[in-house]
Amino acid sequence: MAFMKVVQRKHQTVLITSYFYRGQERQYFERILGIPGGLTTWKLTKEGVFCDDREFNSLADIAWKMGEKNGIDWLLSRLDVCYEYGDRLMKYADELKSVNFSKMPMAALRAAFAKFVEKNLDFGPSVYYPLTAGARVEDAVKKRLARAAGGEGLLLALTSPVKLTDSDRELRDFYLLAADAQEIGLGKMLAGEPKAALKKIARESPVFIRMLKKHLEKYAWLGSRWLVGDAWTMDDLVKRLASVMGGDCAAKFRELNSAPAKNRAEAQRVIEELGFSKKERETVWAAKEFVYFRSYRTELYSKAGFIAKPLLVEIARRLKIGYEDIVNCTFEEIESFLAGGAMDRGKILERRKSRGLFCDGEKMFVLSGKELADYLKKQEAKAAGTASPKPGKTAGGKAEATGAREVRGFPASYGTASGTARVIMGSDEFRKMRDGDVLVTTMTTPEFVPMMQKACAIVTDEGGILCHAAIVSRELGKPCIIGTKNATKIIKDGEKVFVDATAGIVKRTGRK
């Protein structure tokens, strides 16, 4: 058995991963999507999330063959089912908003948590369906483009989504808010310490304060991801607004607002020029829907988790552990603890320092401390077919090239920039970022947008030309290089770098 890396995430919690991946089992894919396949073997460690590549490819093959037999409309109808179960999850999450969990009897609290888990598990196939069947749809578009000149530009036109996610809407509405601030003449007031700025603005324009509050009521949850991180605050919003006052915010809003229509028109133009058949046209629009859905599903999971946080806080209080600890338990453990099962608090607290979540095809289990280290060493030795690798070596036997003077990746948004590298692995490190720094990270997600606005350039380990970093960097007009694989390991935090996002090269130019 070989593991394939799905994604690198520093802060993906045990809890959300436990229902993410339990929801990938065959029982859910078959009952909900009618697809006889699923995943049973996977793991979450500090290196990322991994699954059995044979299971993944088998699931992709099954879904694609069913799509070829039943047509593109059938593949899209499975997405419609995913949307339906997403709506069910959000409906229940919204019901939780008005609940006072502190007054709930234990039995009712257990029932509320069990129902929340059930809704998440039922939405589970939505995580991998677009990564399997959706990826094959995108591959079909790439295969068709192989017969035409134009490269990645054409692929972008034919696969970039025309629908807006919540993070897309937030960015558009943010620039409308910034344009209003410029028109009212609040630019200078926004500079400086946020709380002082808010006091000045409250005196000058109470209406604008209400606009800020309304924006946060709608989008503050985007600051949280995978059950961790805090909602955006008024201070956060003021800092972001201050950082863009030097540009033409009204023009940026118009650009973002018109992007979906331009995207649709450009796709239609390419389709006509290349003489796509009816089936090929259907495949293009399906690819756009799948690409949109990839972002939609992760945002929905995060939003539902953010809304349910008071439920988890109350569970943690009753179990006499912290919120940080409850999200590092599996849903099965939490259900057991709530039912009066034994809880080893020492083991759970140990997970704050190190943890790994594993599923071996049958049972799901969490390891930490020495148990985790020993288990991973055994896995590495088994994968290499030899003794455990020596220090400084990877499981494949190659030394980590931390002394390299440059990093190479794929251009996602053209341009060049120089600045101080800030290697940011999660939201707890956002405080390091300053205006004009180069953002270096594994991958970006919606809560990274304020950091991307500060950055002069963006560099990621992972992603393709349709990943979050690529799309947002183009919207912001920031140079971006994706898919470097090892930028976060080679580039040192605080050192000077030169980013050539036209050539796809990052050069390390000096010391800290």
**Residue-by-residue DSSP string for 61-95:** HHHHHHHHHH-HHHHHHHHHHHHHHHHHHHHHHHH
Listed in sequence order, the residues at least 6 apart from 344 whose beta carbon sits closer than 8 Å to its beta carbon are none
CA angle 448, 117, 101 (to 5 degrees): 90
Neighbours of 277 (CB within 10 A): 10
Residue 384 lies in a domain: no
Euclidean distance between CA atoms 434 and 437, whole angstroms: 6
- Structural domain tally of the chain? 3
Residue indicated by tokens 């349709």: 466
Domain match, 9 and 143 both = yes
Statement to judge: residues 72 and 106 lie in one domain? yes
* Same-domain check for residues 10 and 141: yes
Among the candidates 290, 314, 334, a domain finishes at 334
CB burial string 1-37: b at 16+ within 10 A, e below: eebeebbbbbbbbbbbbbbbbbbbbbebbeebbebeb
Residues 102 and 190 in one domain: no
Q: Which pLDDT does position 512 carry in this prediction?
A: 62
The pLDDT value recorded for residue 511 is 66
User: Do 417 and 501 have their domain in common?
Assistant: yes
Rounded to 5 degrees, φ, ψ at 67 are -70, -40
C-beta separation of 128 from 161 below 8 A = no
CA atoms of 395 and 381, how far apart (whole Å): 8
Q: Does 226 reside within a domain?
A: yes
pLDDT at residue 152 in the model:
67
Q: Classify 232 as helix, strand or coil.
A: coil
Give CA–CA dist 358/366, Å, rounded. Answer: 6
Which residue is it, tokens 């897309």?
A: 168
Give the span between the Cα atoms of 470 and 131, in whole angstroms. 18
Residue 398 within any structural domain of the chain: no
Helical H segments across 185-277, by residue range: 187-190, 194-204, 206-219, 234-244, 249-273
* Whether residue 173 sits in one domain with residue 132: no
Write the CATH number for 477: 3.50.30.10
Are residues 493 and 417 part of one domain?
yes
Q: Which of 378, 415, 380, 375 is nearest to 394 (CA)?
A: 380
Residue 295: HSE in the Cβ half-sphere, 13 Å Cα cutoff: 27
Nearest-5° Cα angle at 82, 482 to 286: 60
Residues 206 and 178 in one domain: yes
Which of 256, 289, 324 is where one domain is finished? 256
130 within a domain of the structure (yes/no):
yes
The Cα–Cα gap between 424 and 435 comes to 14
Nearest 5°: phi and psi at 233? -115, 175
Give CA–CA dist 101/119, Å, rounded. 19
Residue 56: inside a domain: yes
Instruction: Give the pLDDT score at 359.
Output: 95
Q: Are residues 49 and 181 in the same domain?
A: no
Domain presence at residue 160? no
| 89 and 132 together in one domain | yes
Read off the tokens for 109: 């609290």
Tens of pLDDT, residue by residue, the chain (512 residues): 688 888 776 668 999 999 989 999 999 999 999 999 999 999 999 888 999 999 999 999 999 999 999 999 999 999 999 999 999 999 999 999 999 999 999 999 999 999 999 999 999 999 999 999 988 898 899 888 887 776 667 888 898 889 999 999 999 999 999 999 999 999 999 998 999 999 999 999 999 999 999 999 999 999 998 899 899 999 999 999 999 999 999 999 999 999 999 999 999 999 999 999 999 999 999 999 999 999 999 999 999 999 999 999 999 999 999 999 999 999 999 999 999 999 999 999 999 999 999 998 889 999 999 999 999 998 888 777 644 444 333 333 333 445 689 999 999 999 999 999 999 988 889 999 999 999 999 999 889 999 999 999 999 999 887 788 998 998 899 999 999 999 999 999 999 999 999 999 999 987 66
User: Contact, 289 vs 76, CB < 8 A?
Assistant: yes
Which pLDDT score is estimated for 401? 47
Report d(CA 182, CA 178) in Å as an integer. 6
Q: To which residue do tokens 């699931």 refer?
A: 59
**Which of 334, 351, 375 delimits the end of a domain?**
334
466 vs 172, 300, 382, 470, CA distance in Å?
19, 19, 35, 6
Parent domain of 463: 406-510
- Residue 201 and residue 428: Cα distance in Å, rounded? 29
User: 371: burial class by Cβ within 10 Å (0-12, 13-18, 19+)?
Assistant: middle
Q: Which 8-state DSSP code applies to residue 275?
A: T
Q: At what angle do helices 249-273 and 166-184 cross, to 10 degrees?
A: 140
Closest CA to 78 of 328, 268, 236, 293: 293
Looking at the structure, do residues 103 and 41 belong to the same domain, yes or no?
A: yes
Residue 358 lies in a domain: no
**Other beta carbons less than 10 A from residue 341's beta carbon:** 11
Whether residue 370 lies inside any domain: the answer is no
Structure tokens at 332: 């099965």
Same domain, 410 and 492: yes
Q: What is the pLDDT of residue 242?
A: 95
